[in-house]
Chain A
Amino acid sequence: MTPSAPIASDAPPLVTTKGLGKDYGSVIALADVDISVPRGSVYGVVGPNGAGKTTLLSILVGIKEATSGSVTLAVERERIALVPDTPSFEPWLTAREVVALARSLVGLAPSAEAVEHALRLTGLADAADRANGGFSRGMLQRLGLAAAMAGEPALLVLDEPAAALDPAGRRDVLDLVSDLSGATTVLFSSHILADVQQVCDTIGILRAGRLLFQGPTRDLLAGKAAPAFTVRLRPPVDGVVEALEAAPWVHLVERPGPDRLRVTVTSTDAAERELVRTLADAGASVVGIAPAEVDLEHVFLELTG
């Protein structure tokens, strides 16, 4: 496989959809979805079960037809590689044969080096000559990735790529995706929001077939999350929780640990003025106060909840 040069950030998007819709009779899977996948980006598609993520990816790779709207691809279909969440191949093919076949399907010349490279990259070099029928689900997912990589895709579409992998395998896949960033455009759907936050520079949030947010991950984390503070106290903290919940500028009080509170507020200004006073009035022994680190999970729950 030949590494491509990084792609200029001002290049036109690789994938654009306009008013994309898909229904199955009375069930609406996608409604009016406009996405724009920048070239060279790692675009994360997140959403709860049934949000339409797999349907969206299936339409983009051409294995499902949209009911309405349009898809514009700035890349030939043969240069798009899909890795489904549970890849499946003829069980009597060896891993090496699957990867070689994947190259041939997209019209690339046979190359033992490219096949070997893809197998090594995905940690399957030792199992290259074993029939994939005996592979675990995690190994099949690696094989799906190897088959995709061997096709030298311009757009790599990964549907829940780390769902069946052990922690080390998951780490490998995330590293692989991170390495591709800039050279290959990656469309990545996942339920594991920490993974999405870690590797995706652009994000689209789907719920019930509708796109709730699309944009750079950093914008989402900075702009969409309600402000929150982490407060560390010496127990007991029950009275403190009640006092905070009674304050009009407090939206939610959570207890992620026995001596830790996460206070989501409606106004940062009010919290900065009132939080310390409210804690003091409640007789709290305060160990520390800090702005809560915003994570994708909280933003996601706020948007989809």
Chain B
Amino acid sequence: MNLWRLEWLRLLRTRSWIALAAVFLFFGLLGPISARYMEEILRRFAGDISIMLPPPTPATGLEQYLGNVMQIGLLVVLAVAAGALAFDQPSERAAFYRSRVRRVWTLLAPRYAVATLATVAAFVLGTLGAWYETIVLLGDLPVGGMLLGMLLTSLYLAFAVAVTAAASSFARAPLTIVPVAAGLLIVVPLLGLIGPLRDWLPSNLLGSLVGLVVGVPPVEYLRPALVTLVATAGLLWLATLRLQRREL
């Protein structure tokens, strides 16, 4: 038994892997279906009003999937990550770890890494589901664009878990950590209102999967990817620094 196995057991025994996999797979399978039949669905509820939508493309299926999963799915990710990263709550449990382990990073690293890997695995599962259904219902998707898009979106998800780690150094209980992290993730795209920052923000990676599929050059995502990498490392450094100094 060690801290890495502890995190693996946390994932299994708290059933958080089921929550992650279920939400990503559900939206992965729902997205292309809703894109394919959106016009019929709307027409059914519209009565006499005539509704005309452009014919769905393979990218529309992915858009539907990502639109849902990056809201509800991301909230599940934050909740699961907060459950693992809130290690100063309750204080008696924190005393068990903190009085035995001198460096907070020793505690933080497996919690961050396992939560991130589980999130990425669930995202890949959901995306594979969406990819398959899109091919069946809407048409082919470029393999290179899909793989690079999955990689860049996974990078954003790793950033989101790092935001949760940083939030856990400002709040102690999971119920407080989740809104703090969600608030930070909402604020990041708003920085795009400042013109020069627009092309550098990690939130640009959320559109990378669809963008690469419709032919946006990969180089367009180089700057946000670099910023996301640096920001992730910076957030983990901030979390470690603050948690190391925090008293129980």
Residues of A bordering B, CB below 8 Å: 58, 61-65, 77-78, 80-82, 84-90, 92-93, 97, 100-102, 104-106, 110, 144, 147, 151
Contact = CB atoms under 8 A, between A and B. Distances in A.
Given A63-B99, A104-B2, A88 B248 contact: no
25 contacts: A58-B95, A58-B248, A61-B95, A61-B99, A62-B98, A62-B102, A63-B94, A63-B99, A63-B248, A65-B247, A77-B102, A78-B100, A82-B99, A87-B96, A89-B93, A90-B93, A92-B10, A92-B13, A97-B9, A100-B1, A101-B1, A101-B2, A105-B3, A105-B97, A105-B101
A88 B2 contact: no
7 closest pairs, A vs B, by CB? A100-B1, A88-B92, A92-B13, A88-B93, A105-B100, A82-B99, A61-B99
B14 A92 contact: yes
A63 B10 CA distance: 24
Count chain B CB atoms within 10 A of each CB in A65, A84, A104, A105 and give the residue with the most: A105
A15 to B, nearest CB: 14
Contact of B100 (A90, A97, A102, A144): A102
A81 B90 CA distance: 18
A62 B99 contact: yes
Given A64-B247, A89-B93, A90-B6, A104 B13 contact: no
A157 to B, nearest CB: 8
Contacts of A97: 1, 9
Contacts of A62: 98-99, 102
Interface string B7-29: 00110011000000000000000
Nearest to A59: B247
B92 A87 contact: yes
A304 B26 CA distance: 65
Interface of B: 1-3, 6, 9-10, 13-14, 90, 92-102, 247-248
Given A64-B248, A92-B9, A93-B9, A104 B3 contact: yes
A90 B102 contact: no
Count chain A CB atoms within 10 A of each CB in B1, B2, B90 and give the residue with the most: B1
Contacts of A87: 92, 96
A86 B95 CA distance: 11
B10 A90 contact: yes
Nearest to A62: B99
Nearest to A60: B99
Contacts of A88: 90, 92-93, 96
A101 B3 CA distance: 8
Contacts of B92: 84-88
Contacts of B100: 78, 81, 102, 105-106, 151
A77 B97 CA distance: 12
B9 to A, nearest CB: 7
A85 B92 CA distance: 8
A88 to B, nearest CB: 4
B236 to A, nearest CB: 21
Contacts of B90: 88
Contacts of A80: 99
B9 A89 contact: no
Contacts of A78: 100, 102
A195 B90 CA distance: 28
A63 B9 contact: no
Nearest to A87: B92
Contacts of A85: 92
Given A63-B94, A92-B14, A106-B100, 15 more contacts: A63-B95, A77-B102, A78-B100, A82-B95, A84-B95, A86-B92, A89-B93, A90-B9, A101-B2, A101-B3, A102-B96, A102-B100, A104-B3, A110-B1, A147-B96
Nearest to A102: B100
Contacts of B1: 97, 100-101, 104, 110
Contacts of B3: 101, 104-105
B210 to A, nearest CB: 39
A31 to B, nearest CB: 18
A132 to B, nearest CB: 11
A215 B155 CA distance: 60
Contacts of B13: 92
A107 B182 CA distance: 36
A89 B102 CA distance: 18
